[in-house]
Chains A and B, each alone.
Chain A
Amino acid sequence: MGIENLLLGFHVAITPYNLFVAVVGITLGTVIGVLPGLGGANGVAILLPLTFTMPPTSAIILLTSLYWGALFGGAITSVLFNIPGEPWSVATTFDGYPLARQGQGGQALTAAFTSSFVGALFSIVLITFFAPLLAEVALKFGPPEFFAIQLLTFSSFVGLGGGNPLKSLVTILLGFILAAVGLDIVTGQLRMTFGFVDLMKGFDFIIAVIGLFGIGEILLSVEEGLSFRSIPTGMNLRVVLDTWKVLPRYLRTFVRGAFIGFWMGFKPGGATPASFMSYAFAKRFSKNPERFGKGELEGVVAPETAAHAAGVAAILPMITLGIPGSPTAAVMLGGLIIWGLQPGPLLFQEKPEFVWGLIASMYTGNIIGVLMVLAFVPLFAAILRIPFAILTPVIVVICAVGSYAVHSSMIDVWYMLIFGVVGYVFKKLDYPLAPLVLALVLGDLAENALRQSLIMSQGSLAIFVTRPIAGVITAVAIFFFALPVLTPWWRRIQGTAAPSGSPRAT
Chain B
Amino acid sequence: MKLGAVLLFALALLTVIPGSSIAWEPSKPIEFVVPAGTGGGADQMARLIAGLADKHKLSPRPLIVVNKSGGAGAEGFLDVKGKKGEAHTIIITLSNLFTTPLHNNLPFNWRDYTPIARLALDEFILWVNSETPYKTAKEYLAAVKDKQCKERQGGQCLMGGTGSAQEDQILTIQLEQAIAGAKFTYVPFKGGGEVCVNLVGKHVDSTVNNPIECASHWKAGRVRPLAVFDTARLTVAEWKDIPTVKEALGVDVSYLMLRGIFGAPGMPKEAVDWYVAFLRKVGETPEWKKYMDDGALKPAFAAGAEYVKWVEENERLHKDLMGKGGLLKK
Contact pick for A142, options B65, B71, B75, B203, CB 8 Å:
B203
A330 CB-CB contact with B under 8 Å: yes
Q: Are A143 and B203 in contact (CB-based, < 8 A)?
A: yes
Q: Are A182 and B71 in contact (CB-based, < 8 A)?
A: yes
Q: Are A458 and B154 in contact (CB-based, < 8 A)?
A: yes
Residues of A close to B158: CB separation below 8 A? 456
Of B132-140, B209-217, B245-253, B301-309, which stretch is located at the interface? B209-217
B320 CB-CB contact with A under 8 Å: no
Q: Are A200 and B70 in contact (CB-based, < 8 A)?
A: yes
B231 CB-CB contact with A under 8 Å: no
* Interchain CA distance A456-B156 in the complex, whole Å: 9
Q: Are B71 and A452 in contact (CB-based, < 8 A)?
A: no
Which residues, 26 to 63 on A, are CB-close (under 8 Å) to B?
32, 35, 38, 41-43, 45-46, 48-53
Contact pick for B37, options A330, A457, A460, CB 8 Å:
A330
B38 CB-CB contact with A under 8 Å: yes
A472 CB-CB contact with B under 8 Å: no
A476 CB-CB contact with B under 8 Å: no
* Interchain CA distance A388-B111 in the complex, whole Å: 53
Of B44-52, B114-122, B267-275, B311-319, which stretch is located at the interface? B44-52
Q: Are A405 and B2 in contact (CB-based, < 8 A)?
A: yes
B197 CB-CB contact with A under 8 Å: yes
Which residues, 315 to 345 on A, are CB-close (under 8 Å) to B?
317, 321-324, 327, 329-331, 333-335, 337-338, 340, 342-345
B294 CB-CB contact with A under 8 Å: yes
Q: How far is the CB of B228 from chain A (nearest CB, A)?
A: 19
Known contacts A139-B197, A140-B201, A340-B290; is-contact A345 B216 (Cβ 8 Å): yes
Contact pick for B193, options A43, A324, A346, A457, CB 8 Å:
A324
Known contacts A330-B38, A333-B39; is-contact A183 B166 (Cβ 8 Å): no
B237 CB-CB contact with A under 8 Å: no
Q: Are A188 and B165 in contact (CB-based, < 8 A)?
A: yes
Known contacts A201-B75, A458-B154; is-contact A338 B51 (Cβ 8 Å): yes
Interface size for B (C-beta < 8 A) is: 76
A395 CB-CB contact with B under 8 Å: no
Which residues, 99 to 116 on B, are CB-close (under 8 Å) to A?
103-104, 106
A397 CB-CB contact with B under 8 Å: no
* Interchain CA distance A247-B158 in the complex, whole Å: 50
Which residues, 373 to 427 on A, are CB-close (under 8 Å) to B?
401, 404-405, 407-409
Residues of A close to B166: CB separation below 8 A? 188
The contact string, 1 if C-beta is below 8 Å from chain B, for chain A 216-241, is 00000000000000000000000000
The contact string, 1 if C-beta is below 8 Å from chain A, for chain B 212-251, is 1001110110100000000000000000000000000000
* Interchain CA distance A321-B216 in the complex, whole Å: 8
Contact pick for B70, options A183, A322, A327, A457, CB 8 Å:
A183
Q: Are B51 and A456 in contact (CB-based, < 8 A)?
A: no
Q: Are B152 and A50 in contact (CB-based, < 8 A)?
A: no
Residues of B close to A323: CB separation below 8 A? 193-194, 196-197
Q: Are A456 and B38 in contact (CB-based, < 8 A)?
A: no
Residues of A close to B65: CB separation below 8 A? 45, 49
B153 CB-CB contact with A under 8 Å: yes
A197 CB-CB contact with B under 8 Å: yes
B123 CB-CB contact with A under 8 Å: no
A363 CB-CB contact with B under 8 Å: no
Q: Are A344 and B39 in contact (CB-based, < 8 A)?
A: no
Q: Are B187 and A455 in contact (CB-based, < 8 A)?
A: yes
Residues of A close to B164: CB separation below 8 A? 184-188
Residues of A close to B310: CB separation below 8 A? none
Residues of B close to A322: CB separation below 8 A? 193, 197, 216-217
Which residues, 112 to 145 on A, are CB-close (under 8 Å) to B?
139-143
Q: Are B4 and A46 in contact (CB-based, < 8 A)?
A: yes
Contact pick for A344, options B62, B103, B216, B287, CB 8 Å:
B216
* Interchain CA distance A329-B185 in the complex, whole Å: 30
Residues of B close to A193: CB separation below 8 A? 71
Residues of B close to A41: CB separation below 8 A? 38
Q: Are B38 and A200 in contact (CB-based, < 8 A)?
A: no
Contact pick for A185, options B55, B66, B188, B200, CB 8 Å:
B188
B189 closest partner in A (C-beta): A452
Contact pick for B291, options A32, A142, A321, A337, CB 8 Å:
A337
A336 closest partner in B (C-beta): B44
Q: Are B44 and A338 in contact (CB-based, < 8 A)?
A: yes
Interface size for A (C-beta < 8 A) is: 68
* Interchain CA distance A337-B152 in the complex, whole Å: 35
Which residues, 454 to 483 on A, are CB-close (under 8 Å) to B?
455-458, 460
Residues of A close to B16: CB separation below 8 A? none
Contact pick for A337, options B71, B75, B212, CB 8 Å:
B212
Residues of B close to A42: CB separation below 8 A? 1, 4
Q: How far is the CB of A213 from chain B (nearest CB, A)?
A: 22
Contact pick for B1, options A140, A201, A408, CB 8 Å:
A408
Contact pick for B74, options A200, A330, A331, CB 8 Å:
A200
Q: How far is the CB of A387 from chain B (nearest CB, A)?
A: 27
A372 CB-CB contact with B under 8 Å: no
Residues of A close to B66: CB separation below 8 A? 408
* Interchain CA distance A32-B4 in the complex, whole Å: 11
Q: Are B215 and A342 in contact (CB-based, < 8 A)?
A: yes
B294 closest partner in A (C-beta): A342
* Interchain CA distance A35-B186 in the complex, whole Å: 41
Known contacts A322-B217, A323-B193, A330-B38; is-contact A201 B51 (Cβ 8 Å): no
B54 CB-CB contact with A under 8 Å: yes
B61 CB-CB contact with A under 8 Å: no
Q: How far is the CB of A475 from chain B (nearest CB, A)?
A: 20
Q: Are B156 and A45 in contact (CB-based, < 8 A)?
A: no
Residues of B close to A187: CB separation below 8 A? 164-165
B30 CB-CB contact with A under 8 Å: no
Residues of B close to A143: CB separation below 8 A? 187, 198, 203
- In the complex, 17 of the A-B residue pairs with CB atoms within 8 angstroms, ordered by the A residue number, are A45-B38, A46-B1, A182-B71, A183-B72, A185-B190, A186-B188, A187-B164, A201-B75, A202-B70, A321-B200, A322-B193, A337-B294, A342-B216, A343-B216, A345-B220, A407-B68, A456-B203
The 4 closest A-B pairs by CB, nearest first: A344-B216, A201-B70, A330-B39, A142-B203
* Interface set of B (CB-CB < 8 Å, partner A): 1-4, 7-8, 11, 37-40, 43-44, 47-48, 50-55, 62-63, 65-72, 74-75, 78-79, 103-104, 106, 152-154, 156, 158, 163-166, 185-191, 193-194, 196-198, 200-201, 203-204, 212, 215-217, 219-220, 222, 287, 290-291, 294-295, 327
